[in-house]
Amino acid sequence: MKFLVGGTLMDVYSKQQGIRIKQLFTEHFTGVWNIGYKHESSGIQLDYTGNVYGPMQLPLLSDMDPRKPVSPWWSIQNVQLTKSFRNGIDLYGGVKNLLNWTPNKGNPFLIARAHDPFDKQVQFNEAGQAMVTPENPYGLTFDPSYVYAPNQGIRWFFGIRYQLKN
């Protein structure tokens, strides 16, 4: 059995006129782990791996933007089972994103105005700011920059691997 764990603490900021400004998309803490067990006589190996990320500031387009300004703690966890045969063939399968976590939980949308990427239906005022309209209730423009984590939920995978041996 093996158990590996790691973590990183970060304090990422820029200084403008002597004021510390926390950068977007930078969490204070990240962690990784791997728990693995290999049963030598049967050729079966089980691996449980994961990452955990602390909250990070996220970009909002305006005060009207309904998305969350700070991400939650989130984690992607995976499980893989591998059967190794003596002829160099491995069969494996498992689950990615075991917790089915995606960043859209708790947000009305991730990509602002994804249905209008060229802002053809956005009305602007004289200052060039997007206006609130019935078609655009938050007064936003197209913005894909809010995406900060994988958008794919739980996924199963299976495979075969052949190892050339000398």
The model's pLDDT over 78-87, given as tens digits with 9 standing for 90+, comes to: 999 999 998 8
Q: Report which secondary-structure segment, H or E, holds 52.
A: strand 44-53
Average pLDDT of the segment spanning 2-24: 93
Using the predicted structure, report yes or no on whether residue 165 has a pLDDT greater than 80: no
Report the pLDDT value the prediction gives residue 37, as an integer from 0 to 100. Answer: 97
Using the predicted structure, report yes or no on whether residue 20 has a pLDDT greater than 70: yes
What confidence tier does 54 reach under pLDDT thresholds 50, 70, 90? very high
Q: Report which secondary-structure segment, H or E, holds 21.
A: strand 19-22
Using the predicted structure, report yes or no on whether residue 155 has a pLDDT greater than 80: yes
What confidence tier does 166 reach under pLDDT thresholds 50, 70, 90? low
What confidence tier does 38 reach under pLDDT thresholds 50, 70, 90? very high
Between 33 and 106, where is the model more confident? 33
In whole angstroms, give the CA distance from residue 106 to residue 146. Answer: 14
What number of helices (H) and strands (E) belong to the chain? Answer: 0, 8
What confidence tier does 107 reach under pLDDT thresholds 50, 70, 90? confident
In whole angstroms, give the CA distance from residue 27 to residue 5. Answer: 18
Q: Which two tokens stand for residue 79?
A: 């499980």
